[in-house]
Structure formats: C-alpha cells, structure tokens
Structure 1
C-alpha cells in the first residue's frame, strides 16, 4: 500500500508539474501573440477613443438639446461628419493648397536652418544618396512611402468605422471583456473598466477643446506675423497638441523652420507666439477644461509617451498618454486601494458609478 501510495503521489505530482508547465508555455505564447498584434490592439484602442468621443457628444445632445436617447448617437455621428464636410467644402481647397505649400517649402526651410547652424544642406545629402542608389531601390522607397500613406489612411478609416460599431453597442463589448475574467472578479473588473472609460472621456473632451484653441490661436498668430500658409501651420499645431508635452514642440517646428526662410524677425516672433500660446493653454485653457481630469504626474506621463514611441512607433507616440491614463486608473483602483488598502481617489469613478446605476435602472 505504501508503494502504491508513493506511485500515485508521484504520478499526481508529475501531472501537476506538466499542468503548470503548460500554463507557463501558454502564457508565454499569449504574450508573444499580443506583442505581434500590438499594432492591431493599438488601433482597437483608437476605436475605443472614437466611441468615447461619440458618446460624449451624444450625452451633450441629450442634456442640452433634449435629443431622444435612442437617436442621440446617430445624431452625434451625423453632426461630426456634417461638420467635417462643411469645413472641407468651405476651407478644403485653401487648406489643401496651404498644406501642399508647407510640404514644398519645408525641405528648403530645413536646409536653410541647417546651413545657419553650419551643417550644410540636408536635402543635398539626401539627393546625393538617391542619385547613388540603384533605380530599383529608389522605386522601392517611393513605393514604401506611398504604401505608408495608404496604410495610414486605411487605418484611420478602420478606427473610425470600428469606433462607430463600438459606440452603437458598448455594453456588448464591455460584457465580453468582463467575461474573460473569473466570475468572482466580474464586479471589480467592470467598475475598473467603467472608471477608466470615464477618465478617458474627461481627458479626451478637455484635450479636444485645448487642441481647437491652440489651432485657432496659432493660425491667427502666424497670419499676423506674415508666415506663408498660416492656417495649414495652425492646423498642424492643433493636431500635434493631442500629444501632451511633446506635441506642442512637434507642432510648432514646421512654423519655426518656415519662419527662418522669411526673416530672422519673423522667426523670433514665431517662437515668441508659440511660447505665449503654450502659456495661455497651460495657465488659462487647461485649468478651465481639466478641472475634473485625471492628474497624472508630468514626468510619469512624459516617460509613458517616450516608452510608447520606442516600443510601438508612431501609434505608441499617439496613444501613449491615453494608455497611461488607463494604467494609472487601474493601478490606483486595483492595487493601491483594493490590494494595499490605501485610501485614494480614482478619477472618473463617481461618474462611472452614476452611469452604471442609470443603466441598471433602465434594465
């Protein structure tokens, strides 16, 4: 009996070892799969952001224009598309020509700035590299650039369409994500996801308002200074402002470089205008629109953007801070409060609980 018992325990121990080994291998394979699909997952996260924006506008329509709840999302989607269509009809030709002008002048501006620093013409070196390269290599590079642009446009359309689908039935996707976890954790996971979504909504709304203000102020400032294509440069500045900390510098760079081709005085005024606009955004606009937004430590947010760009490239640079918002909320709620037992406020949690209560009342 003792020998039989020992054999049985040995067999059971071997089976447990095999089970744990398979679990570890499965986790490793899952991690590798997620890493390979990182770009797709970031696009899915972008679609979630689109859905949040649509729902934020739908809530405003319900609250202030008394639009029926069942029609609010459709009206919000049509309103956004109608706004972009109207802007394209009214200013599309002008903006397109100005963007083309910026693209044409930017290489000359870079050369001019580089020569002033004593480094020579950057584009001359690029042209020499292209002349020395095989013809097939040039064709492949041009095809690669065209493919990159086409891929970016395709990804943009995919994110918008997927965002509309998610916004149309958010509870379906929320419940699907919750069911990936054990039943005993469903309530915690749902509360955490709702709080993260509400924190993202608050940040997105405030960021869109700030981007619009920066774009308008930059366009007016560049027009007053006398820069060519001021509205295109303002559009670039406004769009780049979506990326905190680094965005203002990236958005102002084309305007500063082009200003150097006009005159040193224009360059100086452009730099001063950029600094003033950033001060207005940081000290006037942001405090007004971010009163209830998550307060992420600046250094942590900056490193999150840099880590995202290093790991995932352009998509990581764009979505690095929104991802940091989600991670920050989850860490505060699931680890700091529920694991360590520390008292801490979780941004978006109160509003998320109100929304959850409203959903339960409707059901």
Structure 2
C-alpha cells in the first residue's frame, strides 16, 4: 500500500470513529445501562458452571446468575447513594463550621499576598453551598442510574438467559469459529480479572482508610471507607474523589492539622496501593498500558456519562477486541496498548495475512 493510500485509510478510519462516537454519545442514555448490564453479566456468568456440574437444572443456575447480577447492581448504586447522601447531610450539619473555616482560609490567603482572583477561586471551591451543589450533582447522576435500574435488570435477565445458550458455542462452532471464540473468552476473562483485582485492592484500601479516619476522629469513617471502596473502581483518579469529603470534614472538626493528616493518610495508603501497586496488577490482568488505563477514564466518562468511569477498562478492552485483534496488520497498535501477546509477524502464513489486510481492496 502506498503512503498516500495508507494516509487516506487512516483519515477515513478517524472520520468514521468520530461519527460512531458522536452517535454513542447521543445515545448514552440507552447505551450506558446496556454496557453496565453486559459487564455485570460477564462478571457473574461463571457462577453457573459449578452449579450445573453439581446437577442443578439450567433454569436454576440461570436464576442464580440473574439474582447475583441484580444484587451486584443494587450494591453498587446503593453504596454510592448512601455515601453521597451522608456527605450532603454532613455539609448541611456542619455548615457554620465550614463557613468559619472558609473565612479563616480567605484571611490567610489575603495575608500571604494572593490577589482577589485566587482568593475568590479558593472561596468558591470550599463554599458550603457549592459543596452541597456538588453532592447534589453526584446524587442526580446516581439517581439517573437508579432510575434506569429496571432497564439494567432486564438486560441482566435476558443476557444471563442467552448466556446459558452461548456457553455451548464451543461445542457447536468450536472448529469453525475457534479464533473468534478464543478472542471472546480472552475478553470476558480479562474483564473478570480486572474487577477481581479492583475489588480486592478496594477492600484493602477501604479497611485501612476507615481505621485511619476512625483513629484521627473524622466523623462517619465507615461512610468514607465505603466511598473509598467504590471509587477504587475508577482507575488512577478514584482516590481523589474519595479524599474530598473526609478531608473537608477533617478541616471542620480538627482544623488544618487534621485535614493535612487525612490527606497524608490517603497519599500514603491510596497513592501507594491504588496509583503505584494496583495499576501494575491491572495492566498484568488485562494487558492494558498504564497511560491508556488513565486516559480511558476521561474518554468514556465523556462518551457515555458518569457510568463510563467505572466501565472504562471493559469498554477499552472491547474496542481493542473488535477493531485491533482481528487485524494482523495492526499488531503494533495492540502492543502499544499493552497487549504483550501482540508479537511481531514471524511466519510466512502470517505475513500473507498481513499483506492481504493491507491491500487497498481488503
């Protein structure tokens, strides 16, 4: 293929991607719950296999998968809603103390010579009314997901029922569609490993943060431990979201020393585990580079809404499985994305496949 033809192919591909992503963004109210239902179904699907091996009827195993998936969705939404509601309630309860802390902050910033623009920005950042609005906006996002629970439940129900049939795909089309089935199995296995790693580290972080906050005397340490667990499913930046409420309450209850102590605890525990250690395990579990994992959060949050932050890794893996893995000519892109199985072409047969894929009419 000539350089001109290659450039034309790249430009057409980028243009098509923009159109598709614009359509997904416009339909995010429909596709967000669909993606959540699909990921939950992928996570709980293996439950059926040990049950069927023990002689359970297929309908009973499917029912167990469905109920487990529903419980997972309810737990996620319930924990988020509870933590946000508690934060909003505490902001209202501690509003006088917050206002006093804000006034002290403004006086200190003015004393060190910062101009009015900087002090106004800091004032808006920690203003109690803005904090309540921030909590309300997060709550509205959770309520939007909660309002779509019926749709998500329906997706989990139907996908779990279909999953019982699709589990026989190896028997029916094993020889004819072996590559596709292997790619699908690799994707679903990667999604499950990712959430197992995230849940494990999230539980460790939640326990350590909760104990530290309890020892420091920050109000409602259990709530912030729950928030730390939930935000751990947001790669790299989740700990910052989980830090804001306890840090603000630490400022109100114990002043700057307690706030700095809370920040120090989160930096030691969360940065070491979530930012330095966990991404290595995640990248090993799903073969995804650290940079791409980080970028995925912002990208999918923009495309499909807040739920995209939690689903960012599975969505990125899906795009790679659909558009990069079937094409031998873009193995280098797979390798750049973190896929260590994307080795260079070494055999004559593989080179022939690459040549065919790169032909203008292919």
Q: Does 1:323 align with 2:315?
A: yes
Q: Which residue of 1 aligns with 2:259?
A: 267
Q: Which sections of structure 2, spanning at least 5 residues, go unmatched?
A: 1-15, 110-118, 131-135, 170-175, 343-362
Q: Evaluate the alpha carbon distance shift between residue 109 and residue 315 of structure 1 in structure 2; reply closer, same or farther with a 3 A threshold.
A: farther
Q: Indicate if the aligned counterparts of 2:69 and 2:156 stay in contact, CA closer than 8 A.
A: no
Distance in 1 (CA, whole Å) between partners of 2:21 and 2:72 is 42
1:51 partnered with 2:41: yes
Matches within 5 A, 1:74-153: 74-75=63-64, 78=67, 98=86, 101-104=89-92, 112=101, 116=105, 118=109, 119=119, 121-122=123-124, 150-153=143-146
User: Are residue 250 (structure 1) and residue 241 (structure 2) matched?
Assistant: yes
Tell me the distance in 1 between the aligned counterparts of 2:305 and 2:198.
22
Q: Are the structure 2 counterparts of residues 110 and 221 from structure 1 closer, same or farther at C-alpha, using a change threshold of 3 Å?
A: same
Per-residue Cα deviation, 1:229-255 (whole angstroms, up to 9, x for no partner): 111111112111111011111111111
Matches within 5 A, 1:211-290: 211-263=202-254, 264-278=256-270, 279-281=272-274, 290=282
**Post-superposition CA distance 1:341-361 (Å, at most 9, x none):** 6796559xxxxxxxxxxxxxx
Contact 2:45 2:160 in 1 (8 A): yes
- The structure with the larger Rg is 1
Q: Is contact 1:218–1:277 with CA below 8 Å preserved after alignment?
A: yes
The answer (yes or no) to whether the contact 1:240–1:250 under 8 Å persists in 2 is yes
Contact 2:24–2:304 (Cα < 8 Å) also in 1: no
Kept in 1, the 8 Å contact 2:36–2:152? The answer is yes
Q: Indicate the RMSD between aligned Cα atoms, in angstroms.
A: 4.8
How far the C-alpha of 1:54 sits from its partner, in A, is: 1.5
Task: Give the structure-1-normalised TM-score.
Answer: 0.62
More off after superposition, 222-231 vs 35-44: 35-44
Aligned pair in 2 of structure 1 residues 208, 108: CA closer, same or farther (>3 Å)? farther
Residue pair 2:84, 2:138 contacting (<8 A) in 1 also: no
Write the deviation string for residues 78-129 of structure 1: whole angstroms up to 9, x where unpaired: 567789999xxxx9xx98985564353576687535862643553998979x
- Structure 1 equivalent of residue 299 of structure 2: 307
Distance of 2:102 and 2:50 partners within structure 1: 46
Match of 1:162 in 2: 155
- How many aligned positions are there? 293
- Indicate how the Cα distance of structure 1 residues 198 and 109 shifts in structure 2: closer, same or farther if over 3 A, else same: farther
Q: Distance in 2 between matches of 1:82 and 1:340?
A: 40
How far the C-alpha of 1:207 sits from its partner, in A, is: 1.4
TM-score (norm 2): 0.62
Q: Please give the per-residue CA displacement for 1:255-312, whole angstroms capped at 9, x wherever unaligned.
A: 111111122221122112112222245566676x659511321222222222223334
